[in-house]
A and B are shown apart, each in its own frame.
Chain A
Amino acid sequence: EDLRWKMPIGFGSNLPGLGSPSPWVADMLTKASGGSIEVRVYEPGKLMPAFDILQAVSDGKVPVGYTWIGYDQGKVPAVPLFAAVPFGMKPWAFTAWYYYGEGHDLLQEVYANAGYNVRAQLCGIIGPETAGWYKNEISKVEDYQGLKIRFAGLGGKVIEKLGASVSVLPSGDLFQALETGTIDATEFSMPAIDKALGFGQVAKFNLFPGWHQPFTAQYLLINNAEWEKTTESQRALIEAVCTAAVTRALAEGEFLNGAVLEGFEKDGISAKQIPDEVLAQLKAVTDEVLEEEAAKNADFKRVYESQNEFLKSYRVWEERAYLYPKLD
């Protein structure tokens, strides 16, 4: 049967890597299926607010949706582990765990256990974000005390523990909030995306590394009944296109970010590294937060343990095999 998919997306398709894969996926599915899957993209808010995509797909109100699933941590506590993990894996390591480890199957179970009627397919990934845009530098861990900051995901819980006041404003409100001092700092995404949102005009310090989000993953959420309707060839195509989108998204971000960073310097933005001892403290708090979350939610625990299990052997390989950036 021919499928017609209305696909709401969580980020504007103008945002490279984060939103831009969605029209690409739609286009590929439509063309490569010879029209047996036709996909129309709906920009955020056109059909519904971006935060409601999971629910709408699960209810079958829309057949599919494309989004960063970490926004649903208020409904499905384990989901951030699939979306972005502080001090977590690098993008390619995450794909290793997702495709060849337990990742993909665990995600389906997590959704099912939380009562959602969706099938999730990894369909885009980007490299590290920046640690954000700040009006003042972070040079010691006390600088987080009283900081009003927009910080999504588990990283938000970490700096919340360090005394920051954390909100999760949507991208459209960030510039204004930063400009007027509603917030002192924000993270959003990688440089190529942050540039589009103009943060550099109002906050002069761009901090690195992106400890809170070494990878950021987007998913195609498909309603289960809709998935049941697909033929074998349609399924194969969906999986192939999404797997390709993962590569394309990563490539797009890696291609753009360096040039963008160079441009930032010309605009008088100071790129600063968060000192190592601060990072060490952030890491310690991150471990605490992850343990706490694992204690609160059984699915979180299972996924967390599976990732750690994979990392145990992976680290051996990673540490031996890869060059450190500074030695490249």
Chain B
Amino acid sequence: MANGSAPAGPDAPPGPPSSERMPPAGTLPQTAPSLRIDAVLIVIGKAASWLWLVTVGLIAWAVVSRYLFGTSTIALDELQWHLVGSAWLLGLSYTLALDEHVRVDVIHERLRPRARCWIEFAGILLLLLPFLAVAAHETIPFALEAYRSGERSTAPAGLGHRWIAKSAMALSVLLLLVAALSRLMRVTAVLFGMPRPLPIETRTDR
């Protein structure tokens, strides 16, 4: 499975060297509104990335405190998945803004850029947006319900306020919707010249 514009993968080599090795083929032009939207999504995604480091610290702390002091707390264990869950949920739209969700490129990479844009256009309208609409329609009440019922962990000493993590889920879907619309603008910029594509290839910072 290869990626259309960048070598992402569970397996993607990190950092700039890889993007230099494989220059993105047929990158979409930016537009004024999508550039601003993407910038926000990227800031959120990058901020969420630091949660990995916090999680590493938490786990290291949990292991050390268990073996040195014989203590362990359920809340600390639960905090780990709260953080990890929030990080990847918020990372979904960042990854979409950078177009690093995996694609099967066998046929795709042989198509002309304009044909690829039409596929992207149809895909966003008929696959991605309907899916996100359903997800939003279901995840928002799900988060509200957790707030209404005052849901907390089943473990007596576990964390309370489940609505926070469940809201991250709803927020993630909303951000994905925004990211999808932003990408749609970049596609329509190529296909219909609406909104106006930005003249210089504006590089979005990974």
Contact = CB atoms under 8 A, between A and B. Distances in A.
| A contacts B directly (C-beta below 8 A) | yes
Interface of A: 51, 55, 71-76, 114-115, 146, 148, 152, 156-157, 160, 165-168
Interface stretch (B17-25, B68-76, B175-183): B68-76
B157 interface: yes
Candidate in B71, B152, B156 with the most chain A CB atoms within 10 angstroms: B156
A76 to B, nearest CB: 8
Given A55-B145, A166-B156, A168-B153, 17 more contacts: A71-B154, A72-B154, A75-B150, A115-B149, A146-B70, A146-B71, A148-B72, A152-B154, A156-B155, A156-B156, A157-B156, A160-B156, A165-B71, A165-B72, A165-B74, A166-B157, A167-B158
Nearest to B160: A74
A75 B156 contact: no
A166 B149 contact: no
Contacts of A74: 151-154, 158, 162
Interface centre among B72, B149, B158 (most CB of A within 10 A): B149
Contacts of B145: 55
Nearest to B152: A74
25 contacts: A55-B145, A71-B154, A73-B154, A74-B151, A74-B152, A74-B153, A74-B154, A74-B158, A74-B162, A76-B149, A114-B149, A115-B149, A146-B70, A148-B72, A156-B156, A157-B156, A165-B72, A165-B74, A165-B157, A166-B155, A166-B156, A166-B157, A167-B77, A167-B155, A168-B155
Contacts of B74: 165-167
Interface in B48-102: 70-74, 77
Contacts of B152: 74
A75 B157 contact: no
B157 A160 contact: yes
B148 interface: yes
Contacts of A51: 154
A167 B154 CA distance: 8
Contacts of A76: 149
A102 B71 CA distance: 43
Contacts of A167: 74, 77, 155, 158
A72 B162 CA distance: 13
A77 to B, nearest CB: 9
Contacts of B72: 148, 165
Nearest to A148: B72
Nearest to B66: A148
A75 B158 CA distance: 13
Contacts of A71: 154
A156 B151 CA distance: 18
A114 B145 CA distance: 11
A166 B162 CA distance: 18
B73 A165 contact: yes
A115 B148 contact: yes
A75 B151 contact: yes
A213 to B, nearest CB: 15
A55 B149 CA distance: 10
A168 B73 CA distance: 12
Contacts of B148: 115
A168 B159 CA distance: 12
A76 B151 CA distance: 8
A184 to B, nearest CB: 10
Nearest to A72: B154
Contacts of B153: 74, 168
Nearest to A116: B149
A78 B158 CA distance: 18
Contacts of B151: 74-75
Most buried by A among B70, B74, B162: B74
A55 B146 CA distance: 10
